[in-house]
Structure 1
């Protein structure tokens, strides 16, 4: 089996979190054990590498926590040995039995679990007539486990079986190869085998138990053989089992760089570190994570760069050495067998087509999560496309120093309709490299020149005839028809342009969706651009209610005198059109007093427009986290009522609507408040419709960090309990008045849910909640809401309550509070206002006097809040 086939199996998982702790699935195996069988929980003291520590062994980079020499590694488990007596120098793990072929680069911004590709041998000695030989593969320490999907063995005349543990069936026939150049055999000596157990089964082990059975036909010849083993070892820091435990002690916590995050490793106890999104470097050293400057076109000027790997050309913006690629994600690796490997994938590259913008790959699991943020997998073939930056073409043009499409006769284009980011291509009729200038850039080839030249002469003749006829006819008709033709032409151009936008924005699809539902057709209207231009006085700047990060909100008065808010984005990607249609389709089918009302949309402009009812008082996020100096806050009674209303709206979406809807992005900024401070759930762009007979759907993970259901993140199975978890975080915000991800006293980022669950074990709930809640709420109410939040935040979705049970609990609490507050003990007569013990809380009857929005301020928040 060739070494490039082995290299394709190196798997580096993605670190998608940007906080210090994450919730992970229970590891499928027990904690790794020492040679004596006892679990290892080594508590180390945090170390920092010396400036004198070697950073290379031959062509292999050495990065902390690994090191060569005393004091150069995080702990002795990460000691390496460099043998400089060989050529090239060989790198070993500390036991000297395992030769390091390749190490995962901790500088990569998305690496969370490191991988080390190792090579070693085991001797197989069988006596005459022996039937079986057992072998055990052990990692050098408890920081390492074998990835069974990346285990390759080369040996002749043996069947090999992977024998069972808690994660593997009793025996799995394991593919081997007698010929090192044989690729991925499906048969060994006439028998079917599993050459690569599925990684989705979480198959890792330490030690690995193998059984070698001689082939009967060759039994007499088998005496002693050497089996060559190539495997991937996953590694982590395991002096503590979780990020929460490790970060509690700064003397041992390994994630020391600013702009770094900690992630619990899912397949072995412990944790790993990574640089946050937008940063790159080594999170295990001080100052190791620095800002990612993105695309660097000046790297093409480096004339010393190697531009081929074997027979494969490596054009810019890709490169093989440091400083030869336009960004770190475009640096490729050429192994000794002249096969190229991409750092963030498990396969090897067979071709790079710079003109068409794709690369062909072989021998990889076809999973988008393996490729990293710059690459998009083509689901129909083993082909990757790339983006040079996660920018729109308009944004890229504004940064000329980092603009990638530098060749004349090149253009910017979006890679596909669902992923943000751009790449470059040569204009039609040109070929070459759009990322460079000069002779290697986009140029017109001979065939194209010939094709263009012939039509050019014909066009010249036809143009002369047309001009002559035009002059003659124009002298007769110009005076009478010029204005008429001009007006009709302009109207025709506008009509065609609007129809083009209507089609591009999936207007025909939305029309079909609305017409197929009587309820939707009665409540939702597709407005023409002309109607909305009249409503906004042609989008006059004086009608702008406010500007947000993603666009503007205009004041509009429809022909039936309804005052509406019209949302208009600055720019929208083609991939977001589906999300836009999704939101319109969902809102058109639901009708609930606590869900924002959608009047309709317009698809005839370049950017689709949404027409909503006004929701005057902004979002719950703006109010609860507003500047304390404005002396404004919501009373506990109002917060309790808003929570009950929002839970009722979610229960309606889950089970009372004609078709179930999973919101998938429940958070404070998506709960708006009308003039009476009544809750209105909004933003259904990420929601999913679910048939009544479905319990869940499998989808790409989407949501807002801090509110995201860990079970949904782990399984990708979205169900109603995912919204319940997010609502539990919302209840914690009402109790503690902290954001879902906040900076704790030590200066580190922490999730509100992990903070709450940890503090609940250490002190009474009354000491945890915010001062205003402690002053206004009764002890029974605080305990009830905290208990409800605790149930909503259960790791297993089946242990969480339904949204109906959540609503009933909150309604009961609010009803009991209203009854006790409205009836005085002296005369039993009802009061008409909700008390505010803090002195600065508000209720709906007095809200207008304390926090009034003008019509020009209303609905501003929905234009600027992120999804």
Structure 2
């Protein structure tokens, strides 16, 4: 007995003098001011998990109020809260970076915000809970993190910032942080410092109401811009959330992550998750890991015995039980009371029901009596549904279209099978979603909604379906069939695996693909061939009316297919104009906007915009509201060359001639005077000549009688600034003549 008492005494003395994993020294302070300090954090020697987690607790100035700070930081960083569960985070106050100026635009004060809070690699600034804010007029500020190790032109891996400007002292508005006086942006993960870089211009006239620029990290829900924030105040701090993790392995993510399960069981030296009922979770913000209690337990997983069983029965709001509840280790049992039985998901989900009581028996008998009535009602509903399907079929012109040889007529059930009950959405058309489907012969198709058909539209609808089905050209999306047994007809088209040219040129990084000049020329030529066919190679004169990259689909081999025309965009047969809005903003022919007349030259105008996008890889409106058309014209007016606008990916010296000629051709398509625009046949021929010129020598072809004409387009608001919606009504215009022999 004396031996064991001596051993216990030695252990007690040792724990009072030093800290081991999961056991801070005895007598450690667990609170500073109004902030709890849970382990692995601690105040004083042997009270925390090493220097990185040590918290200093000192009075604030002369008030005597105790304030916790990060002991390992190189400056005073106040701590507002510490948390180990359910997620590891620390809320601190970080200083605001600033740069001040005098009326001569000279810098008078400067601080880049550096705090170096991460000497021991424990903390990362939370990218989920913080944002980066810039205050000022005509200023840009950014922060960066990571080291590119010389791989690329930039020293850092990530750069995050924004631009703010003002015209005068009244420009900025309280509560508005969208670029005037204030801007904000999300940050990237892995950020470990507060360092800011400023760039400003035209500061001399703003020093009275905005003498300094400011930039800072701040919790997303704890900053509301006020115009008074632009005044001079160089001692600001802002609340910032920090993620923390166990990073004993240094910079090596492999050695700082959770050990393998078999290794964890042996509790390796330095392993932080020491509670029996805890688990290890890899950090999502930098290398390292953190600990949490297992399901059914709560507490501090960094302490031996720190995770304790939850009494779920005492917390009915969190752990419901519609019966008798009994707590178990790590869980709870919930059973129906005597005389009741579970239903549905069981008593943890919903109340139990009585075990077939007398009222239930009577109800069963009555329900059996009504079974026949229910069956009869279902049969009646089925007949009504069949009648409605027949009515839809007749309303949508089924009696006419079913006699057309090259159109497949699908039933409603066929369509459900083809699209697997509309399970795979691949886009949004003008009248509804577009679905991917597969025919019985494994042909992949796209299924989209057409316009709603009534008695007045039936003839137009059927004529347009027939016309589309007969347009056989490699560069026009083919209509395979339709379903007429629904209220609004569904059309089935061939499938283009690479999506639209819009996605390829201007989509996100996952869809943006490298495009050689050869591929772009092929897309331009074949798209022009498709439009030429529509304009002159069929027995009907067809005006597309909405030529744009979004309506040029690409196969897996980048073969372009003109799409999005026909029954969903009808124009009355034998008329050459419409008063409906046609096309999408940025592609609309200014002449159509003035006259309401849709011609083939309207398609030529829109195709000219597509050519500019192909060689510049810029959308019609880019940057700070720059117009692609206006900027191209400005380039030709000022330096007689579009070189500055060409996509850097293809703007190599040996191809500049070809790019210049494509740009000039596009400018001709965009001319204000309709009669000065080429037709699609000439456009296609000149593009083919450019492809030949590229293969055989760029200067050997006189490409067009217009080749040396001065190029000028109308740049008035009438041509480019009208308020047209991209979802506005778009029409296909057709004028049919007797079929050519």
TM value normalised by structure 1: 0.35
Larger Rg computed on CA atoms: 2
* Bigger relative contact order, structure 1 or 2 (CA pairs below 8 A, ≥6 apart): 1
